[in-house]
Amino acid sequence: MALTPQQGLDPREYFEQGSVSDVWLEVGFGAGEHLAWQAQAHPGVGIIGAEPYVAGMAKLLSRIADTNLRNIRLYTEDVRDVIAAAPDASFGRLFILFPDPWPKTRHHKRRFIQLEMLNELARVMRKGAELRFATDDAAYLAFALERFCAHPAFRWMAESSADWRVRPLDWPQTRYEAKALEAGRQCGYLRYTRL
């Protein structure tokens, strides 16, 4: 269940041989409700989740024990370690759902979505892979849109305003999202394809 990133190792090797045909990565999975749902819905996909917060890890471990999910691997440190160790074109899908918006201007450099990180994400994503990003912070949404749209490796999949205002059916609600909606905040759901 626990993962130790190994430089250059195909992420499928973290799972039982032949058990997964693709691997997805979730950055900061919170309480793990989204990750567990995706693992149940896609048993032939290995899902790696990175979350440094112990409470979130404990909640997901409880879900895994209750459902006997075998296609999940967890990393308890910074996801950048997993990304740095992964070879090129490793992942078929990435999830960055409700990351810390670091709202103060002087802290914007701490936001996960930065040009250097987008370069790394593009490197580890296969051609045609999908990246999903969500936030309830309007300023972070604009910040992320600006960086994604300027990056030559990503194409925004939106064809209408509903495509970023309404969560797709195969994207379950997270606990954090439910709190944001209950508080009256609008959420944005961005989907990008790796060119």
Q: Please, are residues 178 and 134 in contact by the beta-carbon 8 Å criterion?
A: no
CA dist 187 and 128 (Å) reads: 25
- Short-list 112, 97, 99, 101, CA closest to 173: 97
Q: Which of these is catalytic: 100, 136, 163, 170?
A: 100
Q: Please, are residues 187 and 134 in contact by the beta-carbon 8 Å criterion?
A: yes
For residue 26, the SS3 value is: strand
- Run of H or E residues at 192: strand 188-194
| Annotation marks residue 100 as catalytic | yes
For residue 170, the SS3 value is: coil
- Cα distances from 3 to residues 12, 15, 56, 72, 152, in angstroms, run 12, 10, 16, 10, 31
Give per-residue burial for 168-181: e unless 16+ CB within 10 Å, then b.
eeebbebebbeebe
CA dist 2 and 15 (Å) reads: 11
Q: Where in the sequence numbering do the catalytic residues fall?
A: 100
